[in-house]
Chains A and B, each alone.
Chain A
Amino acid sequence: MRRSFDRPHEEIINAKDLKESSADIQKIIDREVKFLNGDGRKVFLGGFAQGSAMALTAGLESKEKLGGIFAVHGYYLSLTEINEANKETPVLVLLGKKPPFRPWDKPDGFYPMFEKTFEGLKTIKSVNTMVEVVDQDVYYDQEFIQKKLVQFVKSSSKL
């Protein structure tokens, strides 16, 4: 029997919950856009691991043109319905080479995730999508993540 974490993400997640979460995040985006005088480009969506997958889904599905999406060590869900408004939105995906310390991870466990993320991101077809595979420990090196986030926000704000 295959374990749940050996199966494709699309098989183990609940699509209905995913869409509900995406809709809830959209409400937060709408609220923040209102605070920012209607400028969605001042709203950035980011996340880590599962949160990263959700950030890509909710951000790319958003009807508001966002400033950027910062996804750390996550994956791309093919269920994502990319909104025209965010086809050109800057996206930075950071993937850490260092494997997590979880007993069920296979030694090559990350590479299928890399492939899946790369394949998925091709469908975004945005000139502003970048994937960086880094040596840093993206699980615990929060200072590194913080620096990358700041760089990303600053560079995206200039676009």
Chain B
Amino acid sequence: MDADKKIKKEFRFQVFENEVIIEPLSGKHELTIIWLHHLYRNAADLSIFFMHGVSLELEVSSLSIYLFLTHNPFSERQNRPPSGSGESYLS
């Protein structure tokens, strides 16, 4: 049954340590959306932008999702690891 399905668009989905890049495998690079996600929401959730409905009408070539850190309001830890130490204080 799956063999009968016609592929509308194919994407490359790359997950890096601090970035997720989703880009179509075909077409010219015309537009980039850099999306900064919510503190508790998985970056990959934003892949819905490409998955159905109106998303296919938007000629987005790549979506770069940057995973960043500002401050965890739930942690009152005084001895936060220094930035760039490799230890996440969100854990």
Contacts and interface: CB of A to CB of B under 8 A. Distances in A.
Contacts of A35: 29, 32, 62
Contacts of B18: 24
B71 A17 contact: yes
- The DSSP consensus for interface residues of chain A is helix
Interface string B34-76: 1111110100010011000111011010101010111101101
A118 interface: no
A126 interface: no
- The DSSP consensus for interface residues of chain B is loop
A12 B18 CA distance: 23
A28 B34 contact: yes
A126 to B, nearest CB: 19
Interface string B1-42: 000000000000000001100000000011111111111010
Interface stretch (A91-99, A107-115, A128-136, A145-153): A145-153
Nearest to A151: B54
A155 interface: no
Contacts of B41: 48
Nearest to B23: A35
B83 interface: yes
Interface residues of B, number: 35
B48 A54 contact: no
A137 to B, nearest CB: 14
A82 interface: no
A54 B68 CA distance: 9
A152 to B, nearest CB: 10
A29 B31 CA distance: 12
B54 A150 contact: yes
A146 B56 CA distance: 11
A143 B76 CA distance: 35
Contacts of A54: 36, 68, 70
Contacts of A28: 19, 34, 64, 66
A51 B54 contact: no
A150 B48 CA distance: 13
18 contacts: A14-B80, A16-B83, A17-B69, A25-B36, A32-B32, A43-B33, A44-B31, A44-B32, A47-B37, A48-B36, A48-B38, A51-B39, A52-B36, A54-B36, A55-B36, A143-B53, A147-B53, A153-B31
